[in-house]
Amino acid sequence: MWARYNEMKRLVQDLLPPGVCNLLNQSTVYANNEVCLSDIEVYGFDYDYTLALYSNALHSMIYNTARDILVDQYKYPEGLRKYDYLPNFVVRGLHYDINKGLLMKIDAFHYIQLGTVYRGLKPVPDEEVMDLYQGTHHIPLHQVSGFYGKGPAVKQFMDIFSLPEMTLLAIANDFFVNNQIEYDPIHLYKDVSDAVRDVHVKGFMYQWIMQDLEKYILRGQETYSVLHLLASKGKKLFLITNSPFSFVDKGMRYMVGKDWRDFFDVVIVQADKPHFFNDCIKPFRRVDANGDLRWDKITQLEKGNVYKQGNLVDFLKLTGWRGSKVLYFGDHLYSDLADLMLRHGWRTGAIVPELEMETRIVNTEQYTHSLTWLQALTGLVERMQMFKDAECQQVLEDWKKERLELRAVTKNLFNPQFGSIFRTNHNPTYFSRRLCRFSDLYMSSVSCLMNYDLTYTFFPRRTPLQHEAPLWMDQLCTGCMKTPFLQEMAHIR
């Protein structure tokens, strides 16, 4: 068995030709469905984390302000102020069990990834997780969480702005547990949620950004380049955002210039998504040059004007922009993209800023070698488990231990607590499954479009299903065609 182990280690080295660690480009657009840009006539955009990308300094400000609201207004213990923001503690897409006060990572099949369940700032042992969930770590999310991730028992944090909220929840839980203070997790969740909401609703965040655009807004020149490219090719452009006009106007002037509205055929602010996409109640209202609301009836959406609220039914009637000729970009899979794809047949593009960092990690030699050896070692365990004598079983236990260590190594390269936002060991995360379901394309920023001609067709990769031959397509493309155990496994596959 150890001879086979050493042989496989040598084979893994052969599977990785020179340059394999730099195959992924951080500016790539990834396709879940086939999309031909020649067919796209209309491009739509969200604003926050789509046209405007923000620095991590904003998350720290949101956290600090919400924490102080808990102390000053909700009369939480003064000791909470000692906890600073932890910028790399959580990742997007986590779930929070409101009743138990647990932050956790769930895969595409609704299973909790053991080892990534946290109460406060400390991991919960796997045995305790199993006890808490009555012997299983499968959560029926359709029963405990609504479509938009807002359920009575489990909430999913899909918004990039939710990183400070998750961190504050973890820190508040940690404070009460460490100080042996009895508390109600449900009440705590509501207070933290309300405090973070106040930061947004009361306009604190807008004030910070408007006062120091250079500190908070990243790569604004790329936004200008994308809009200029699309407009110069005769494409129709529109903006639908929940942010107020004064905020959007100042940010767009900083990134694009004072004439930024010349790029857009329709501009809609304070749209109240996702209700904008699934209700037909609120009418459009025009916003004048001073930012005041006008009460004239809207019979057409005119270029150069700014509109507030409204609904998609009226938007479709007034513009005639329907179906697959429209491509809309947003960062929130539910509020921005889900209804557009499921109900209205628009093409959708998800902006996932985390892709940039994750791609850098995937391109490292350490990750590539660790992951390839993990796959090979898993094949060894699967193939050799038929040997039942004590000596062989001890070897298998050693291999399984090494396999767990390799899993921890690959996970920690992304985030020591929760790993990659896209994977839970071999399975995709629940976030990743939703990303594939609600977006035709996904990328780290809209600037990735600059790398493609506007007649380009995106094709999704054909990834093997469980019952298909385990060909490693990336190896075939790079000229390395050896596949571990393909012949040996043929008789049981």
Annotated binding site for Mg(2+): 46, 331
170: left (phi over 0), alpha (psi -120 to 50) or beta: alpha
Q: Are residues 220 and 256 in contact, defined by beta-carbon separation less than 8 angstroms?
A: yes
- The C-alpha angle with vertex 479 and arms to 477 and 480, in degrees rounded to 5, equals 105
| Token digits of residue 312 | 């998609």
Binding residues for GMP: 48
**Is the preceding peptide bond at 274 cis, omega within 30 degrees of 0?**
yes
Q: Which of 48, 97, 249, 265 is catalytic?
A: 48
Binding residues: 46, 48, 331
3-class secondary structure, 239:
strand
- The C-alpha angle with vertex 273 and arms to 144 and 329, in degrees rounded to 5, equals 105
- Beta-carbon contacts of residue 425 (< 8 Å; ≥ 6 apart): 107, 113, 407
- Rounded CA-CA distance 367/365 in Å is 6
- Smallest CA-to-CA distance from 115 within 409, 433, 408, 413 is with 408
| Token digits of residue 63 | 């956290």
Write out the E strands in 331-375. 347-351
Q: Which of 46, 107, 249, 336 is catalytic?
A: 46
- Rounded CA-CA distance 82/86 in Å is 12
- Beta-carbon contacts of residue 424 (< 8 Å; ≥ 6 apart): 105, 106, 107, 111, 113, 116
Within 16-159, residue ranges assigned H as helices are 57-72, 126-132, 141-144
Locus of tokens 């940010």:
251
Q: Tell me if residue 48 is catalytic.
A: yes
3-class secondary structure, 267:
strand
Bridge partners of 328, per DSSP, are 44, 348
- Rounded CA-CA distance 34/37 in Å is 10
Q: Are residues 14 and 480 in contact, defined by beta-carbon separation less than 8 angstroms?
A: yes
Q: Tell me if residue 272 is catalytic.
A: no
**Is the preceding peptide bond at 460 cis, omega within 30 degrees of 0?**
no
- Rounded CA-CA distance 194/74 in Å is 10
Bridge partners of 122, per DSSP, are 119
- Rounded CA-CA distance 219/55 in Å is 10
Alpha-carbon distances of 418 from 148, 357, 425, 474, rounded to whole Å: 22, 15, 11, 27
Within 53-152, residue ranges assigned H as helices are 57-72, 126-132, 141-144
Q: Are residues 337 and 328 in contact, defined by beta-carbon separation less than 8 angstroms?
A: yes
User: What is the C-alpha end-to-end distance of the chain, expressed in Å?
Assistant: 21
- Catalytically active residues, by annotation: 46, 48
